[in-house]
Structure 1
Amino acid sequence: MTPPRTPDRSAPSRRGVLFDVDGTLIDSSYLHTVAWWHAFNQAGHDVPMHRIHRLIGMGSEQLIDELLPADRDRDGDDAIGAAHGALFSVHWPGLKPTRGAAELLRRCTDAGLVVVLASSSNVTEVAAMREALGSDDLLTAVTTATDAEHSKPAPDIFAAALEAGNLRPEDAIVVGDARWDVESAWKLGLDAVCLTSGGISETELREAGAVAVYADPQALLDDFENSPLGRLVPAG
């Protein structure tokens, strides 16, 4: 796997895009939903899929806290998280990008924007998704769960992505697919463009504070010049 490009720390006016991965660049939100559903069932918890799906993109610890009773025996939480990871890994060979994902990354790079992947998934999951995306040559940096003390909706992963890309909040935009992306971005003063490719409605994403909503990366690419990403492109 080709390593991300080394950031040019001397660049005077770097602007860039922080991309969430699951549900945004990789069509995996429903695979995560099914994996969590099986993991909960294996641990004896009956959690409906629709409740799980609405929380995809939130960190594992927070997701489990939201879905299970507060008075549960928390000693089993780590095993549930590990089971989800193992069940999701079965799907790695078949992971596919969302429509237009790789092309959007290239358009950003060609326009002079820094591209950073900002995922709360672990290193091995992110590696599998990068393999499916096949766009490592377009990336300036990649951040994973190991780069953040707290996962979404905490802002840690986007803070790490800003640092990795040598970007200021006023010079960057988040692209994600969940309200947790919007909430995390907002805490750092970042605008968030959202995609409905993760299965969350445009209405909910706009109510969360997304500055623009598109169906998928291809739709955002088709409107690139008029989008918040296009307006971020350095002049000249």
Structure 2
Amino acid sequence: MPISATPLKNRQTAVLFDLDGTLVNSSAGILASLDYAFRANGTSPIAALTDLMVGPPLHEIVESLCPEILPSGIDMIIESFKAHYDSIGYLQTTPYDGINQMLNRLLDAGIILAIVTNKRAHPTELILDQLGWNDCFSYVYCPDSFQPTPSHRKSGLLRKIMHDNGINPPDCVYVGDRKEDWHSARANNIRFGWVEWGYCIQKPDFDDNSFVLTVPDEEIILDAIWNAPELRRESLDGGGKLNQ
């Protein structure tokens, strides 16, 4: 499935999703591939491999687990991970209970669905194909989908997907499981939905109009879009607050 974007001709209502920890439980495959990569390179991580480390870009995960290793060694571990994950590890990815039903109901409501993720494009593509989701998502934005990579990581990807496709902040929400997802939504004046089932076990201390999903629920998401209060962005650097 090509991961690309075709600009929207008219304003559309969109739900932008994070992938790992939001739509899918991918931790088993990621942790197995990390374990393989460390062992293949004769390296031991400084901390146990747990679900809590899933979500950031791959190089950040590896660097945090091997702070004393030279960049060349980090690159070797990353390449070993990619070889294992892209052939075996991704197959352990499963959707969370209720996700398929929620996606289908959002599509039935005429909502444009998109993914904005830190995951690399190739395994993202493999996972969507494996799960039969190729036709669900109009746009899939990954850091390595573009050259140069958008700045500020996920907030840059959110900014780009809206710019490329004519999506306006009041017409969408971003749904994710990590504090980074919340900050990225804030930086783009997008209302954020935090999923309780993801890899961030502590709920962020929201000081805006973000909403919480305890289970996949399209009605809460639709209400967040259609009945969203007006937002005002204080700053673009994530340091300001979103005020109603």
Q: TM-score range by the shorter chain?
A: 0.7 to 0.9
Aligned partners of 1:180 and 1:47: how far apart in 2? 23
Secondary structure (helix, strand or coil) at the match of 2:25 reads: coil
Which residue does 1:231 correspond to in 2? Answer: 224
> Are 2:141 and 2:157, in contact at CA under 8 Å, matched by a contact in 1?
yes
| Contact 2:45–2:65, Cα closer than 8 Å, also in 1 | no
Question: How far, CA to CA, are the matches of 1:179 and 1:31 in structure 2?
Answer: 23
Equivalent runs, 1:130-145 vs 2, <5 Å: 130-145=128-143
Q: 1:82 aligns with which of 68, 79, 92?
A: 79
Structure 1 letter corresponding to 2:203: L
Structure 1 pair 178–34 and aligned structure 2 pair: CA distance change class (3 A): farther
**Partner residue in 1 for 2:118:** 120
Residues 167 and 153 (structure 1 numbering): CA distance in 2 closer, same or farther, change over 3 Å?
same
Summarize the Cα distance change of 1:212–1:42 in structure 2 as closer, same or farther, 3 Å threshold.
farther
Amino acid paired to 2:51: H
Cα distance in 1, alignment partners of residues 5 and 56 from structure 2? 28
State whether residues 58 and 78 of structure 2, in contact with CA within 8 Å, keep that contact through their aligned partners in structure 1.
yes
Q: Does structure 2 conserve the Cα–Cα contact (< 8 Å) formed by 1:18 and 1:116?
A: yes
Equivalent residue of 1:54, what SS? helix
Q: Separation in 2 of the partners of 1:144 and 1:85?
A: 15
Checking the alignment, whether the CA contact within 8 Å between 1:102 and 1:134 is kept in structure 2 is no
Distance 1:99 1:121 in 2: 21
**2:194 paired residue number:** 194
The alpha-carbon distance between structure 1 residues 3 and 183, as it changes in their structure 2 partners (threshold 3 A), is closer
List aligned pairs for 1:145-164, cutoff 5 A: 145-147=143-145, 149=149, 154-164=154-164
In structure 2, the CA distance between the partners of 1:94 and 1:34, relative to structure 1 (3 Å rule), is closer
Displacement of 1:81 after TM fit? 1.4
Of Structure 1 and Structure 2, which has the larger fraction of its residues in helix?
1
- For residues 134-190 of structure 1, what are the alpha-carbon distances to aligned partners after superposition, in whole Å with 9 as ceiling and x for unaligned? 133232212223235158754122223323442122322111122222222222222
| Other-structure match for 2:65 | 67
The residue aligned with 1:212 is 211
**Partner amino acid for 2:216?**
L
Query: How far apart, in 1, do the equivalents of 2:3 and 2:153 lie?
Result: 28
Identity score, percent: 21
TM-score by length of 2: 0.76
Deviates more, 1:90-99 or 1:111-120: 90-99
Stretch deviating more after TM superposition (95-104 or 154-163) = 154-163
**Distance (Å, rounded) in 1 between the aligned partners of 2:22 and 2:58:** 18
Maintained 8 Å contact 2:5/2:164: no
Distance 1:93 1:54, change over 3 A: closer
Contact 1:173 1:193 in 2 (8 A): yes
Residue 232 of structure 1 aligns to which amino acid in structure 2?
I
Are the counterparts in 2 of residues 24 and 198 from structure 1 also a CA contact under 8 Å?
yes
CA gap 1:3/1:86 in 2 versus in 1, 3 angstroms = closer
For the residue of structure 2 that corresponds to 1:194, the secondary structure is strand
Q: 2:93 aligns with which of 92, 95, 103?
A: 95
Change in 2 beyond 3 A, CA 1:208/1:231: closer
Distance in 2 (alpha carbons) for counterparts of 1:179 and 1:164: 25
Instruction: Report the aligned-residue RMSD.
Output: 2.9
Secondary structure of the corresponding residue to residue 57 of structure 1: coil
1:130 Cα deviation (Å)? Answer: 0.6
SS in 2 for 1:207: coil
Greater Cα shift, 204-213 or 125-134: 204-213
Once the two structures are TM-superposed, the CA of residue 87 in structure 1 deviates from its matched residue by 2.5
Query: Do 2:170 and 2:225's aligned partners in 1 also have CA atoms closer than 8 Å?
Result: no
| Counterpart code for 1:88 | Y
The 10-residue stretch of structure 1 (151-160 or 165-174) with the greater mean CA deviation from structure 2: 151-160
